[in-house]
Amino acid sequence: MPVSSRVSHFSKDQPLFTHVVENRPLSTPESEKDTRHFVITLAGSGLTYQAGDSLGVVPTNREAEVDELIERLQTTGGEAIRLPRGTETLPLREALQRRLALAGPTRRTLEVLLNRTTVPAERSRIESLLSPGTDELLERYLEERHFVDLLADFPGVRLAPQEFVDLLRRLTPRLYSIASSPRLHPDEVHLTISVVRYTANERERHGVCSTYLADRVALGETPVMVFPVESHFRLPEDPARDVIMIGPGTGIAPFRAFLQERAATVASGRNWLFFGEQRRAHDFLYENELEAWRASGHLARLDLAFSRDQEERIYVQHRMRESAAELWRWLAAGACLYVCGDAKRMAKDVEAALHQIVSAQGGLSPEAAADFVKQLKKDKRYQRDVY
Ligand code: NAP
């Protein structure tokens, strides 16, 4: 049976329990990042996916953070609590470990704490954070803190476990673009994840799901809950169409899937990849695979932008501009263009570069170039998977 026609019954509410079977670094220890390749086994599960889909992963919180919360709440963790906006009851520790988000306190959290501290100095500190005209200060204060930091900042606060739980949101699954094609890896899902670790407010911070997979899941042992999420991000139906893929950083993930898919289906269209990262020696994710595809011609073009290998920053959109004429020829001949990765800066700058290229190479006014790009989107020849 063709892979795409099988229906998978797994979902957020009915995830697959499986294992991570591989966790290997893609960046070197000298890199400023810790980007990893994970393999999750699907063997015997019936879970199916298509190139371009994402995988939902249900994480758990760090035990050290849960322990500290329980200690600061001066409880045992065994108290039965009710999950917010629901009727399900379970022990506090389990709820903190598996069901509740421990990051993201809000103004309302501080408003509640204000009425729960008996210490005058703490009251006035909270009042000054909430006072009118200090929005920026408050925003920065909250951004740098998890709930446990607020309890540490205001030890005079007294909250019953249920009152504390009522301040929290549910822990939600994280979605990652799948980095493998089911035609090549029907029994596996591959993920490309940059492990989020940084310091804020003098504490080490850990991205919930990336450090869950990197640090807290034992290979082949810890049960992990995953489910496929169907995407709009799809290769062209016509295998003869050319594709242009722009995927710096972890944005490479779905393009590794696309390239595997196009190799497995012997698609005759050409493939052009723009990839960027900080340093060639430390951050060239999937270097061997990409270079092999370039050598074999499966990648007609591989344009690389290592931003920090020279004084001035060079990004994928600079490489696009350098090859503007060729890029326009591909587009004018019907190529599909895909962008994946950082939404805030990269995707915007790449879109601006695309407009300029279309305008300059196509001899179009900025308005006509904008219409051209709009039409590309409508025709599903310009698709984005940005986060
Ligand atoms: P990334 O942070 O996107 O970095 C990949 C490459 O893109 C690096 O060479 C980076 O250069 C470069 N880059 C930076 N700004 C760019 C721009 N405006 N246009 C084009 N390229 C640009 O890769 P990642 O580690 O995979 O991170 C992706 C994840 O981190 C996403 O979740 C993303 O949203 C998030 N992130 C967001 C920000 C942000 O402030 N929006 C920052 C970092 C990460 P340099 O690093 O040398 O500038």
Q: Residue 359 is part of which domain span? A: 243-386
Closest CA to 248 of 322, 325, 326, 343: 343
Distances (CA, A) of 271 to 168, 261, 268, 315, 330: 46, 12, 9, 20, 10
Q: Are residues 332 and 200 in the same domain?
A: no
Question: Domain check: are 316 and 259 in the same one?
Answer: yes
pLDDT reported for residue 134: 87
Ligand 1: residues whose CB is within 6 Å?
Answer: 33, 194, 248-250, 276-278, 307-308, 313, 315-317, 341-346, 349, 387
Statement to judge: residues 49 and 93 lie in one domain: no
Question: Domain count of the chain?
Answer: 3
Pair 67, 277: CB distance under 8 Å: no
52 and 67 inside one domain = no
Buried b (16+ CB within 10 A) or exposed e, 78-110: ebebebeeeeeeeebbebbbebbebbebeeebb
Closest CA to 73 of 174, 148, 8, 182: 148
Q: In terms of domains, do 160 and 301 share one?
A: no
Looking at the structure, tell me whether residues 78 and 46 fall in a common domain: no
Nearest residue by C-alpha to atom 36 in ligand 1? 342
Q: Work out the angle at residue 11's Cα, subtended by the Cα atoms of residues 8 and 16, and round it to the nearest 5 degrees.
A: 80
Structure confidence at residue 3 as a pLDDT band (50, 70, 90): very low
Instruction: Assess whether 103 and 190 both reside in one domain.
Output: no
Domain closes at, from 165, 188, 219: 165
Same domain, 161 and 80: yes
pLDDT tens digits along 61-111: 999 999 999 999 999 999 999 999 889 999 999 999 999 999 999 999 999
CA nearest 381: which of 331, 347, 342?
Answer: 331
CB neighbours of 280 closer than 8 A, spacing ≥ 6? 304, 306, 309
Q: From ligand 1's centre to the CA of 241, what distance in Å?
A: 29
The tokens describing 352, both together, are 């601006």
- What was the pLDDT predicted at 6? 47
Q: Which atom of ligand 1 is nearest to the CA of 386?
A: 34
Q: Specify the pTM.
A: 0.93
Residue 287 and residue 271 share a domain: yes
Side-chain half-sphere CA neighbours of 246 within 13 A:
26
Q: What's the CA gap between 147 and 108, in Å, rounded? A: 12
State pLDDT tens for residues 347-366.
Answer: 999 999 999 999 999 999 99
Q: Is 309 within a domain?
A: yes
Residues 365 and 260 in one domain: yes
Mutate which of 175, 342, 344, 349 for ligand 1? The one with the most ligand atoms within 8 Å of its CB, which is: 342
